[in-house]
Amino acid sequence: MNQRTCLSVILAAGEGTRMKSALPKVLHQIAGLPMVAHVVKAAEAAGAGDLALVIGHGAEEMRKAAQKFAPEAEAFVQEKRLGTAHAVLAARAAISKGYDDILVMFGDTPLIDPDALTAARLKLAQGAAVVVIGFRTANPTGYGRLIEKGGKLVAIREEKDCSDEEKKITFCNGGLMAIAGSQAMKLLDAVGNRNAKGEYYLTDIVELASNQGLDVVATEASFENALGINNRAELAQAEGIWQARRRHEAMLSGVTLIAPETVYFSHDTEIGADTIVEPNVWFGPGVKIAGGARIHAFSHIEGAIVAAHCDVGPFARLRPGADLKQKAKVGNFCEVKQAVIEEGAKVNHLTYIGDARVGAGANIGAGTITCNYDGYLKHFTDIGEGAFVGSNSSLVAPVTIGKGGYIASGSVITESVPDDALAFGRARQKTIPGKGKELRERFASAAVAKKR
C-alpha cells in the first residue's frame, strides 16, 4: 500500500445555494476549519500524495483559501455543472498522470474518516477496479441503493428507479469512491448523459466496470462518513458530531471534561493529560495546553500556549499570543493578549495585560491595565521578576517595571521604575472635615428645587 501512488480528486465546485451565503459552501467551517480542509486532511492521512481540487463558484476565493490548507493542491475549474463524472473529468490532466489509486471525494463531507479511505485503497491493491464506500441505515429512504450479487457491486440504483424489492436494501451509496488509476480514464470517458437531466453521473461507472468484467466492490463505513452538508442546520449537526468525537478522544487521552457537552474544541487544539476543563470552555484555533493545567468555567482561549500546572479562569480570555509559563495564573475576568506570563506569576482578576511580559513570581493587582496602544502603534510593557503592581494601576507603555518593583495602588505609571523601587503615580489625598455633609445638603436642596 505504501508504495502505491494516490491522487485525491476533491469536488468543491457546488454553489451551495441552500446555505444562503455569499461564501462558497465548502468554505463554511467545522471546528474553525473550512469543511473542505477536513476532507483534505483525511485524504492526506489516507496516503493521498497529490490533490486535485475541482472548483467553480467562488473560484478565486477558493484558490485563496486553498493556499492555506492545501498549498500543494492543483486547482481545476469546472466551467459548467454537468454532473459528478463531468466534475471529476475537470481534473483530467491530473488523473492522466498514471496514479495507482484515484480517490474521489466531496468537499462537503467533512466527517470522512481516513480509515474508510484506507480500506477502499486496500481493495484497489487487492485487484478491484472500483470501490464504493457505502453505509447502512434503518431508514434508507432517499438514498441510492448498492446492488450486490455474489459479493460484487453491480449497480448503484437511485430510489426512484428501484424495484419494491430493491427499496428494502439498507446498504446505501455514500458517494465516495476509489478507482484504479489504470481504469479511471477509460471508465470516466465512457459515462454518457442519456438521462432526464442530461448529466454525466459518476455512479454510472459501477455498471460500466461490472459489464466489462472488472471487479467492483463496496466497503462499509458509518453514516457520519458520508454526511453531506447542504444547509446550516446540517452544518450544525456535523459540528456536533465532530465535537463529540474530539471530546471522546480527549477524555480517553487523560483529559478530564467535567461537562463534556459544553466544551468546544478547534481542529488543532492540543491538550495534555491530567488537565481539567470545567464547563463552558471554548478553545479557538492555535491552542496548546500542557498537562496538569486547570481551565475553569466560561473561559475563552484562542491562539494561546498554556504550560503545565497553570490555572486559568473562570471567565478568563486568552487571546492570540498569550503565553503562560508553568504554574502561572490568569484569574476571573482577565484578558491576556500577545503577552508572556512567566512562571508562577499571578494575574488574578479584572485585569488586561497586552503586549507585555510579566516576570516570574510577579503579582498583578485587580483592575490593572497595560495601556499598550496610542491610537497608532502598540507599545511594550515589561514587568520584572517578583514585581508587585497594586490594584487599579495603569501602566502606560512603553514602560519597564524593574525586578522587585512595587507600584502603589491606583497609580498611573508613565516612567520606568528601577529594580526594588516604590512608585506612586497618583494625586495626593486631601480630606476636608464636614465637607461631605455640606455637599449632601446642597445637592438635596437642588434636587427638591428641580421638582417644583
List, for residues 280-322, the tens digit of each pLDDT value. Answer: 999 999 999 999 999 999 999 999 999 999 999 999 999 999 9
Q: What is the mean pLDDT of residues 324-331?
A: 98
- Phi-psi region at 322: left, alpha or beta (left = phi > 0; alpha = psi -120 to 50): beta
Residue type, 95: I
Q: How confident is the model at residue 2 (pLDDT cuts 50, 70, 90)?
A: low
- Phi-psi region at 361: left, alpha or beta (left = phi > 0; alpha = psi -120 to 50): left
Cα→Cα distances 419→195, 349, 438, Å: 83, 25, 45
C-alpha cell at 446: 437642588
From the candidates 28, 38, 296, 349, which is the catalytic residue?
349
- The pLDDT value given to residue 195: 81
Q: How confident is the model at residue 194 (pLDDT cuts 50, 70, 90)?
A: confident
List, for residues 149-191, the tens digit of each pLDDT value. Answer: 888 999 898 888 889 899 999 999 998 999 999 999 999 999 9
List, for residues 64-92, the tens digit of each pLDDT value. Answer: 888 898 899 999 999 888 999 999 999 99
* pTM for the whole structure: 0.89
Say how far apart CA 354 and CA 369 lie, in whole Å.
8
pLDDT at position 1 over 60: no
DSSP symbols for 198-253: ----TTHHHHHHHHTT--EEEEE--GGGG----SHHHHHHHHHHHHHHHHHHHHHT
Domains of the chain: 6-226 (3.90.550.10), 237-423 (2.160.10.10)
List the single range of 65-79, 233-247, 322-336 with lowest mean pLDDT.
Answer: 65-79
Residue type, 305: I
Residue type, 124: L
379 is catalytic: no
pLDDT at position 384 over 90: yes
Residue count (the chain): 452
- The pLDDT value given to residue 79: 85
Q: How far apart are the first and last CA of the chain?
A: 93
pLDDT at position 398 over 90: yes
Q: How confident is the model at residue 63 (pLDDT cuts 50, 70, 90)?
A: confident
Say how far apart CA 39 and CA 26 lie, in whole Å.
10
C-alpha cell at 257: 471534561
In terms of Cβ atoms closer than 10 Å to its own Cβ (0-12, 13-18, 19+), residue 131 is: buried
- The pLDDT value given to residue 190: 95
- The pLDDT value given to residue 173: 93
Backbone angles phi, psi at 240, to 5 degrees: -65, -40
List, for residues 111-133, the tens digit of each pLDDT value. Answer: 999 999 999 999 999 999 999 99
Q: What is the 3-state secondary structure (H, E, C) of 325-388?
A: CCCCEEEECCEEEEEEECCCCEEEECCEEEEEEECCCCEECCCCEEECECCCCECCEEECCCCE
Q: What is the mean pLDDT of residues 428-439?
A: 89
CA angle, corner 337, sides to 335 and 338, nearest 5? 160
> Whose grid coordinates read 486547570?
294
Sign of CA dihedral 172, 33, 23, 106: negative
Q: What is the mean pLDDT of residues 216-232?
A: 93
- The pLDDT value given to residue 254: 98
Q: What is the mean pLDDT of residues 409-431?
A: 93
Residue type, 199: E
Between residues 112 and 57, the one the model is more confident about: 112
CA angle, corner 273, sides to 354 and 363, nearest 5? 30
CA angle, corner 85, sides to 168 and 95, nearest 5? 125
C-alpha cell at 98: 498514471
Cα→Cα distances 339→179, 261, 304, 324, 382, Å: 51, 31, 10, 8, 10
List, for residues 18-49, the tens digit of each pLDDT value. Answer: 999 988 899 999 999 999 999 999 999 999 98
Say how far apart CA 58 and CA 147 lie, in whole Å.
37
pLDDT at position 196 over 80: no
